[in-house]
Amino acid sequence: MSVGLLASRGLGFVRDVVIAYRFGASAQTDAYLVAIQIPTVAENLLAGPALHNALIPVAAQETAAAPSGARLRQLLWNAGTLTLAVNGAAVLVLAASATWLVPLFAGGFSLEARALAVQLTMLALLGMPLMALTRLAWAILNVQGRFWGPALSQSLSNVALILFALFLGVRLGIHALAAGFVIGLGLQVLVQYIELGRLGLLGIGAVNWRDPDLLSALRQFLPLALGQLVVVLSPAVDTAIATFLPPGGVTIIRYAQGVIVPFAIISVAVSAPAMPRLSRLVSQDAFEAVTGLLQRVVRPLSLMLFGAAACVFVARTPLVTLLYQRGAFDALAVRQTADTLGVYAFSIPFAGLYYFLLRGLVAFAAGRAILLLNLVALVLNVALDLLFLPLFAHAGIALSSLCVQVVYMLIAALVLSRKLRDQHFLPGIWRPLLANAAAAAVAILAGAAASGPVARLASGELPLLVVPALVAGAVYLALSRVLGAGDLAWLISLLPAGVRSFIVGARGRRAE
């Protein structure tokens, strides 16, 4: 799975670089980002991660009960038919109302930008049923132990956007991106359903709307969908408020987010395999085992995520320069993106840890708690966006998101503690978090101190990117180790076999 996600995130970088080169940060790119936001919000209400999370426990149970796959095949057919019908009907309604819908998401746009956003929205809406089918296929494949294939299929969406931007961007303009968006989603669905066919899980038959498995999944889906809608409304609110910035403001925020999104691979790669196991342990009332699993994962996860935050922060300006400053992306856009990235960097550990802890809440079927948590966070996000935007412009949106992610993680941990009824759960979560946060703060100071001499002695952006990040990383790992939160043995186990042997041999020689 990690390979597939790494490929997808890597191509996501390339996609953003190509789009920045071709279109820069402009009113056109702002219109495109608003256009793809609308089907994303709608799909998250009608399918989204909620469909994926609701299907996994049911599909896991049916896989264990009927290894032949007959019941799972029927569930896939029933859920797929319902998903297509609901999302297809929604596309027609949303396309007909696009003229009234777009101003809700882009109140700050000029009339020209708003008209362009309407055109792009009507095209992007075609991808909405495809997004929903991808969620469905991914859930079934995950239960079958297929992780890397679905993750790798996401790369196809980025490949399509890259090719359409490069080869059709001049001819079709910004419309090329909307077309690439839809084609890429179609390729994702095709690859995943080919894999389902190989597993013998595709079949055509009568649709049973009263299928107990389908009804069970729907009962879990509804509260999760409402909660997920609130989650996806937060970035939609960010985008809507950012439309009141000068042209290109929405795009600046998107490019800054694009730099930190690849770090989500860490949490996703850890959380997806853990989800079926957490569901099984909860169904067996093995709460002590659930506590142990959550704490064991949080420890190395926090080590990686706080370290990533420190390195990204100290290297933010050269990183943005190397990634984006070419073609239509100018120096002003680089400075604004780097300032915004500096704030978003601090959200890396909190967003990643919340993503993992949310798997625990889903395993407990805590739909109401998730919904309430998301509602509180949405209200907080709107209030902080309106407060910080006039003060800090683009970085104000990032600061609001950071505050929301911190609240998400804290409340999720508290709710899990109540569910587990284990007084040792929270201390086992907080200790590594606080230690790694302190180590990251000192590492940032060390990396910033190293930037000055490097700027005087070396030319170019690459030394300014590499040296401060290496200094920050080394200081961070050392301090985390001293504070008792640096699980370096686990980190070393991720290295290639030859490197591991060298480190173990060196340790042995020192011991002698």
State pLDDT tens for residues 373-392.
888 888 999 999 999 999 99
How many C-beta neighbours within 10 Å does residue 332 have?
Answer: 11
State pLDDT tens for residues 326-349.
888 888 999 999 999 999 999 999
The closest of 134, 138, 132 to 1, measured between CA atoms, is: 138
Where among 384, 417, 438 does a domain terminate?
438
State pLDDT tens for residues 440-491.
999 999 999 998 888 777 777 788 889 999 999 999 999 998 887 666 555 5
Residues 231 and 357 in one domain: no
Q: Mutual orientation of helices 316-324 and 287-314 as an angle, nearest 10°?
A: 80
List all residues 6 or more positions away from 187 whose beta carbon is below 8 Å from its beta carbon: 153, 156, 157, 159, 160
Residues 73 and 156 in one domain: yes
Q: Mutual orientation of helices 2-23 and 264-283 as an angle, nearest 10°?
A: 140
CA angle, corner 349, sides to 348 and 352, nearest 5? 85
Residues 283 and 381 in one domain: yes
Residue 386's identity, in one-letter code, is L
Q: Is the pLDDT of residue 494 over 50?
A: no
Residues 236 and 338 in one domain: no
Residues 40 and 154 in one domain: yes
Share the mean pLDDT of the chain: 85
Residues 436-441, mean pLDDT to the nearest whole number: 95
Residues 26 and 137 in one domain: yes
Give how many domains the chain has, as a whole number: 2
Q: Is the pLDDT of residue 30 over 80?
A: yes
Residues 367 and 288 in one domain: yes
Residue 211 CA to residue 380 CA, distance in Å, equals: 40
Residue 278 CA to residue 23 CA, distance in Å, equals: 44
Residues 378 and 423 in one domain: yes
Q: Does residue 127 lie in a domain region?
A: yes
Where among 188, 212, 244 does a domain terminate?
244
Residue 76 CA to residue 121 CA, distance in Å, equals: 29
Residue 163 CA to residue 178 CA, distance in Å, equals: 12
Q: Does residue 482 lie in a domain region?
A: no
Residues 234 and 258 in one domain: no
Q: Does residue 511 lie in a domain region?
A: no
Query: Which residues form the domain of 171?
Result: 1-244
Alpha helices by DSSP H, 173-286: 175-198, 212-242, 249-260, 264-283
Q: Does residue 501 lie in a domain region?
A: no
* Residue 327 dihedral angles phi and psi, to the nearest 5°: 60, -125
Residues 258 and 236 in one domain: no
